[in-house]
């Protein structure tokens, strides 16, 4: 038998075997990544706005298995393609509510932002509205589980590569909060 005959026999056998006994069925497999995505939002030159980036730097340095990290200086709709394709995501950012002492670490769910979801121009869309839009237009691609780790900021307007003391001191607590959420997400997969 020549090599071509052997190859044709192999192809026919492989096709028959695949038709009768598939090795695995990926048709029902969720195409989204099982890795937990941790996104740090902010600006490295706007004082306390850097906290999300700093938290992600610490998480990234740990080289945790099953964890992807990204640092972004984005807002609004730009978050959708960043978190698309993951089953779970943690978003870390500075927040200024005036309801907490600067440096307070707050863990929020998307539902906590529901009152802020609004019709707005593309330039005015907040994170909650972007998540809502993403889930409307691409529900299968958006994460099922999202947590926000926010750190109450004191100064978001001063151009400085240094965070205020209260926010800088909150860095270990914010990292611990993210690690706790990662652990919960990974145990639920």
What CATH number has the domain bearing residue 126?
3.40.50.1450
Question: What is the pairing mode between strands 86-95 and 33-41?
Answer: parallel
Averaged over 7-21, what is the pLDDT?
35
What is the distance between the alpha carbons of residues 90 and 42, in angstroms, rounded to a whole number? 14
- Those residues with Cβ within 8 angstroms of residue 183's Cβ, 6 or more apart along the chain or in another chain: none
Residue 87 has pLDDT above 90, yes or no: yes
Range of the domain at 55: 33-187
pLDDT at 22: 37
Averaged over 107-119, what is the pLDDT?
72
Residue 63 lies in a domain: yes
Top pLDDT among 2 and 97 is at: 97
Top pLDDT among 85 and 27 is at: 85
Residue 14 lies in a domain: no
Q: Which two tokens stand for residue 18?
A: 């695949």
Q: Which two tokens stand for residue 71?
A: 């640092």
Top pLDDT among 126 and 72 is at: 72
Residue 90 lies in a domain: yes
Q: In what order do the strands lie in the sheet with 145-152?
A: 67-72, 33-41, 86-95, 145-152, 105-108
Average pLDDT, the chain: 83
Under 8 Å between Cβ of 44 and 161: yes
- Those residues with Cβ within 8 angstroms of residue 168's Cβ, 6 or more apart along the chain or in another chain: 162
> For residue 58, what is the enclosing H or E element?
helix 51-61
Top pLDDT among 188 and 127 is at: 188
Residue 17 has pLDDT above 90, yes or no: no
pLDDT at 114: 67
Question: What is the pairing mode between strands 145-152 and 105-108?
Answer: antiparallel
The mean-pLDDT minimum among 45-54, 61-70, 85-94, 111-120 falls in 111-120
Residue 4 lies in a domain: no
Averaged over 126-150, what is the pLDDT?
88
Residue 116 has pLDDT above 70, yes or no: no
Residue 174 lies in a domain: yes
Number of domains the chain contains: 1
The mean-pLDDT minimum among 32-41, 72-81, 95-104, 144-153 falls in 72-81
Residue 127 lies in a domain: yes
Residue 13 has pLDDT above 70, yes or no: no
Residue 6 lies in a domain: no
Under 8 Å between Cβ of 125 and 77: yes
Nearest to 68 by CA among 86, 52, 80: 86
Q: CA Rg, the chain, in Å?
A: 22
Top pLDDT among 96 and 19 is at: 96
Residue 65 lies in a domain: yes
Residue 30 has pLDDT above 70, yes or no: yes
Residue 163 has pLDDT above 80, yes or no: yes
Under 8 Å between Cβ of 154 and 102: yes
């Amino acid at each position: 038998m020549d090599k071509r005959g052997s190859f044709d026999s192999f192809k026919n056998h492989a096709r028959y075997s695949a038709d009768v006994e598939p090795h695995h069925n990926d048709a029902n497999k969720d195409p989204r990544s099982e890795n937990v995505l941790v996104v740090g939002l902010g600006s490295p030159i706007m004082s306390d706005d850097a906290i999300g980036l700093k938290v992600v730097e610490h998480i990234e340095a740990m080289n945790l298995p099953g964890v992807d990290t990204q640092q972004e200086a984005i807002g609004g709709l730009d978050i959708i393609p960043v978190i698309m394709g993951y089953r779970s995501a943690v978003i870390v950012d500075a927040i200024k509510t005036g309801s907490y002492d600067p440096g307070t670490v707050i863990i929020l769910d998307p539902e906590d932002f529901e009152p802020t979801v609004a019709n707005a121009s593309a330039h005015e869309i907040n994170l909650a509205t972007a998540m809502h839009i993403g889930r409307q237009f691409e529900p299968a691609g958006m994460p099922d589980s999202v947590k926000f780790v926010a750190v109450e900021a004191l100064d978001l307007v001063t151009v400085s590569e240094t965070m205020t003391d209260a926010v800088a001191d909150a860095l270990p607590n914010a990292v611990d909060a993210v690690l706790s959420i990662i652990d919960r997400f990974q145990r639920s997969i």
